[in-house]
Amino acid sequence: MTHGIVPPYLLARIAELDDERFAVAAEAARRALRHEAPFRAARLSFSLDESDNLVVEVGAGPNRTIADAGHLEELPGTVVRSEGDEPTGDDAVDEAYDGLGATFALFSEVYQRNSIDGAGHPLDATVHFGTQYDNAFWNGERMVFGDGDGEIFRRFTASPSVIGHELTHGITQYTAALEYQGQSGALNESISDVFGALVEQYSLDQTVDEATWLIGEGLFTDEVEGSALRSLKAPGTAYDDDVLGKDPQPGTFADYVETEDDNGGVHINSGIPNRAFYLVAEALGGNAWERAGQIWYDTLSLPLDPKSTFVEFAEATLSAAVTRYGESSPEAAAVRAGWTGVGVEMSSDDGRAA
């Protein structure tokens, strides 16, 4: 399954526009919505020794390959930059290369994880996908970026948080494997938003107070009244536009949206756990990737139910905090308060089901 950064409710809104100012954007959104089948790029990465035995080598750094789809909806495209190559001068190619590197750096340097699978998985991306394609997505094997329609969306490689978000879907695929439906799907989306934000903050060396906490900042053109696709700090405030409408994300469980659209509202309701993470990070201060991020990363390694609810995930984060920092620690207290702050009440005080 593909996990696009632009939620389908926003694409649907754009696709329905009957305004000649956004004719290109409306058609681009309709094409993006028609793009349903995940693209799988056949690729084997291995080497052989002198006796023709398979050798798998885990490198210390990223192994990036950027391909150009040439505005076709075919993958993988033509390789235009590989690991160690000089910049090409193509903004999309070079931004994708740098964004993959920034994501690798966060997980490697902070959490000691070697790529998305923990074993040096190559980081592959395709840029210039489709014609004015309004999305970026992880297809299970590679990152894919559209160039945007130019009226509402700019190119999708321009935001490090988008690249970090999509690659984190790969990490979730190899760890918690949260089902992409309902509350577990919203958690899947939220985890990608959390680490997408942390990729950007780590690369810019921003503290909790300095960070924007936005996902997709800079993706909108100047025609749109909005700063980003989503805000972890203040869900529901990322945009408020006469054409696109208002950001529909709730920030508390009391406002959870019951819907059959978008796999049960995975993009809308992700605002609730997003806000919980922000409250934990705010309470702890400093660099969010350190203690708050460590707790969320540790949680991915726990035996989570693929259909985890918000309450079950909250309890898992508290259990992770208690295990690493202690039951009476400021970290555990921050986790308790963060989830309480969004109306998610745990069934017991130590994070284990009562």
The residue from 267, 282, 315, 331 that is catalytic is: 267
Active site residue 86: no
Rg (CA), the chain: 20
Check: CB of residue 82 under 8 Å from CB of residue 63.
Answer: no
Check: CB of residue 248 under 8 Å from CB of residue 269.
Answer: no
Name the token pair of 241.
């536009």
* CA-wise closest residue to 195 among 298, 284, 121: 298
Check: CB of residue 137 under 8 Å from CB of residue 168.
Answer: no
Check: CB of residue 308 under 8 Å from CB of residue 187.
Answer: yes
Name the token pair of 57.
């080598």
Please, is 88 exposed, middle or buried when counting C-beta atoms within 10 Å of its C-beta (0-12, 13-18, 19+)? Answer: middle
The secondary structure of 204-225 as a DSSP string is: HT--TTT---EESTT-B-TTSS
Check: CB of residue 295 under 8 Å from CB of residue 317.
Answer: yes
The residue from 95, 141, 151, 166 that is catalytic is: 166
Active site residue 50: no
Please give the positions annotated as active site: 166, 267
